[in-house]
Amino acid sequence: MKEKPQKRTKKGIGGWLFLAIVLLIYGVTALFDSGLTLKAMTSFIQLLDKVLPVLLIVFVLIFIVNLLLEPARVKKYLGSQSGIMGWLTAIVGGILSTGPIYPWYALLKDLREKGMKTSLAAVFLYSRAVKLPLLPLLVHYFGVIYTLVLVFYLIAFSVISGLVMERIQSVHSEAD
């Protein structure tokens, strides 16, 4: 299979432009309804309070990945030759990951650039549906059998989703 050359993205002013537009909207809103602006800012700060710790953890993990994991090691454990251990690593990693999903995209992108299979990224993302802190509550309300069956199905469908992604990628790469 031929490796595609990495596309270089051109860094532009899009992010800064978006920030300027949002600040402008906040400014205009403040002129007409300062109470609404204060409420929006309070909501933003509360959201930031929830997201910042997870974002910090993800950035630390990205730093560690860049420091310790060279592409050869990522390919060994999460690449095309990783086998069952790669699938298990993606499942366990997905289950153990916490917080909002969007900070994890950066880490997965970094791992993909180092050689992680797309199917394992899909497995990681789908396995996040198993929430360890909520399992005792799930057992309390629905029972052990229901919880075990649900967790089994979530993990099984994460693997199915990974296999589907692998098939889609192989069909797509054959077409190129």
Query: Looking at the domain assignment, is residue 46 inside a domain?
Result: yes
Domain extent at residue 138: 36-175
Query: Looking at the domain assignment, is residue 90 inside a domain?
Result: yes
Query: Looking at the domain assignment, is residue 121 inside a domain?
Result: yes
Residues 6+ away with beta carbon under 8 Å from 61: 107
> Could you list the pLDDT tens digit for every one of the 176 residues in the chain?
444 545 555 567 888 899 899 889 989 988 998 898 889 889 989 988 888 887 788 788 778 767 776 667 777 777 777 788 889 989 998 998 887 888 888 888 888 888 888 899 999 999 999 988 888 889 999 999 999 999 999 999 999 999 999 899 888 877 76
The amino acid sitting at 52 is L
- Split into its structural domains, the chain has a count of 1
Query: Looking at the domain assignment, is residue 24 inside a domain?
Result: no
Query: Looking at the domain assignment, is residue 169 inside a domain?
Result: yes
Where would I find the beta strands (DSSP E) of the chain?
none
Query: Looking at the domain assignment, is residue 158 inside a domain?
Result: yes
Query: Looking at the domain assignment, is residue 74 inside a domain?
Result: yes
